[in-house]
Amino acid sequence: MKESKINKIKQILKMNGEEQETQYEKRQQMVVLGSVRSGANHIAQNVEVALDEASVDHLDTKIVNDVAKIESMILGINPKDEDKRPTIPMGVILMSQMRQYNMLNGNGMSISTTEDQNGSGMTVYDIVKNLCDQYEIPFEYIDDPAEEAEAVPALIGKVVVESSE
């Protein structure tokens, strides 16, 4: 995430010159970040089934495959809109691959979420993990869809606990 975006978010949170502890509004949504190839659609379907089995009502699952949309999907805001407060999802699952699209011709390519793509020293995993830590959003990383058997119930457990508080 660019430093300017982080600073914009910090400016939103400042009140009377002091940063204060803020409770963010949670939206009834689970966000799955990943490409079709990485199994994001399958994971999202299984999350919905697990939520139904856990009797968690009114919770949507959103699949996002475009790396450029990570911040807006996690924070629920347009990064250019300084007046809006973040609304955070109930949980985030990051898969091993996402898509990156060329702005000139619209072509997309798969990228690893754990490899530095542009020499910045930050991976997609780092960006997502930092956002989830900053906003206290339950987070799971699934490298291999076979890990789903452990990761999905773990995340659903965190969501069920939070929604009952």
Each residue of 59-68: pLDDT tens digit?
889 999 999 9
Give tens-digit pLDDT for 35-86: 999 989 988 988 888 888 877 777 889 999 999 999 889 988 776 666 677 8
pTM for the complete prediction?
A: 0.78
| 15 assigned to some structural domain | no
Residue 93 region, left (φ>0) first, then alpha (ψ -120 to 50), else beta?
beta
Q: Is the pLDDT of residue 11 over 70?
A: no
What pLDDT score does 34 carry? 94
What pLDDT score does 107 carry? 86
Q: With contact defined as beta carbons under 8 Å apart, do 163 and 90 qualify? A: yes
Task: Specify the 3-state DSSP secondary structure of 159.
Answer: helix
| 12 assigned to some structural domain | no
Query: Rounded to whole angstroms, how far apart are CA atoms 103 and 110?
Result: 15
What pLDDT score does 126 carry? 95
| 52 assigned to some structural domain | yes
Task: Specify the 3-state DSSP secondary structure of 64.
Answer: strand
| 5 assigned to some structural domain | no
Residue 3 region, left (φ>0) first, then alpha (ψ -120 to 50), else beta?
alpha
Q: Give 8's pLDDT tier (boundaries 50, 70, 90).
A: low
DSSP 8-state class, residue 83:
T
Which whole number is the average pLDDT over 1-22?
50
Q: What CATH number is attached to the domain comprising 128?
A: 3.40.50
Closest CA to 28 of 115, 91, 104, 113: 91
The structural domain count of the chain equals 1
Its domain, for residue 68, covers 25-164
